[in-house]
Amino acid sequence: MIINIVAILNIFLIGHMVFTFAERKNKSFPLPLNIIYSFMLGVGITTLSYFLFLITFGRYNILYLYCETSFSIVGGFLIFRKIRKNHVSLFKPNYQVIIFSFLAFVVSIFLVIFCLYHPHGEGDSITIWNLRARFLFLGGANWRNAFTDLLKYSHTNYPPFLPLAISRFWYITGNDSLFFPMGIALFSTIASPFVLFFSLDFFSNKFKALTASLVLLGTSAFLTQGASQFADIPLSLILLLIFVLAKFYNFNNTRMIYIMGFLSALLAFTKNEGVLIFLIFSIVFLIKKTRKERIAYFFGALPVLLALLYFKLFLAPPDDIFAEQTTSMLLQKLTNFQRHKIIILFFGKNIFFFGDWKINPFIILIPFLFLQFKKTVSLNSFRIRGFLILLLILVFEYLVYQISPYDILWHLKFSFNRLLLQLWPSFLFLSFLG
């Protein structure tokens, strides 16, 4: 039990130390956002350090835990000694906070019950993420076999952020407890509504914050996919956190760009489509930024990008989208208008029904967005650039479907809804902002 607490506490203290020092001397985030950012940063930092340890020493040993805990103790000491007592801005209880907290609590209970009925997850979480984590944990010095081409059916070229994060817990505790993958899934799922509520309360108003968070809590597909331990929901949380930080950076804080670079690169280390999202976000966000800001963003992202580069060059088999396709085959598919027709019709039919809602929120959101956009006239506004990022992601994913080596309808049915769920929390944040 104690070792479990140490494994989790290390994550929070290390992440909180980094986030607090980036945030200090500026107007700070509310406490719930501070906690979520601390955990996400901590997971990213400890997962990367664990990956570096495996690469350097060939396998896990107790030295890693000693080093991580020592750094965590130093972080905790610096937090309590050097950070002002009023650093974290608390929020005042009000009826909106009470309503949201109650509904989030009720949803959390149902998510826990769902996880208990599906402890190993479902679909990809079993055949890809948790399978890879068990190879890493049980493989010992042969942990690299987790990415062998013999397991091509389970997409061994997918970035290893989630399997590494899970296997780190298992190595530290000495057993492959289902608690940790379920815990990561539950945290990723329930953290997104919290980020939505408190960020919109911070930037906008409580009514918009409550409405947006309730829409997300009412998106049943988002909740079930998250509780099923799919990597799409952690990816959606990271993307949402980056958008909130980008707004905060424009709003007040210039130090956060290092954290933005780090978190945005985690997108690329989580899923293959995260590479595309990272590139699009980085290009659009860095437009009209200074050279100093671009360098800071790059250095924040660099540790994660180096880890991804090592993985792709020395561990992962070739990407299944391009591995067995020639240039002529790709060009032929790009000019195949029948494929274009299938994809366009599928996009148009499913984009309004991906959430498995009983009542479609787009009925309310479309007129609301129309009224909001009448107020948005500057092409340089944060919201316009944010929606441009989401649109470009869909455009480039459209092209990926166009060149897919798989049966096109199968590929769309298998992944399109999950792609939209990756963008959904960020879409709600941008929609209700301002």
Unique residue bearing structure tokens 């590479």: 275
- Tell me, what's the pLDDT at 287? 87
pLDDT profile of the chain (434 residues), mean per 10: 87 90 69 92 97 94 91 78 52 78 94 93 90 93 89 85 96 92 95 96 89 92 94 97 88 76 97 96 90 91 97 89 78 91 91 76 68 58 90 95 91 92 95 84
Residue 111 CA, chain-centre distance (Å), reads 19
Residue 183: exposure state from Cβ atoms within 10 A (0-12, 13-18, ≥19) = middle
The pLDDT of residue 262: 97
> Helix, strand or coil for residue 28?
coil
pLDDT of residue 2: 82
The per-residue pLDDT for 380 is 57
Cβ pair 348, 432 in contact under 8 A:
no
* 30: three-class secondary structure by DSSP: strand
**Count of beta carbons in the 10 Å neighbourhood of residue 331:** 11
Which two structure tokens, joined as six digits, stand for 344? 């366009």
| Residue 363 neighbours by CB distance under 10 Å | 10
Res 325: pLDDT: 77
Quick check: pTM over 0.85?
Answer: yes
Q: What is the DSSP string of 88-146?
A: SBP----HHHHHHHHHHHHHHHHHHHHHHHSTT-STHIIIIIHHHHHHHHHSGGGGGGG
Beta bridge partners of 89: 30
The Cβ of residue 427 has, within 10 Å, a number of other Cβ atoms equal to: 20
Rounded to whole angstroms, what are the CA distances from 198 to 31, 365, 412, 416, 430?
A: 9, 20, 34, 29, 14
Give pLDDT, residue 27: 59
Residue type, position 248, single letter: F
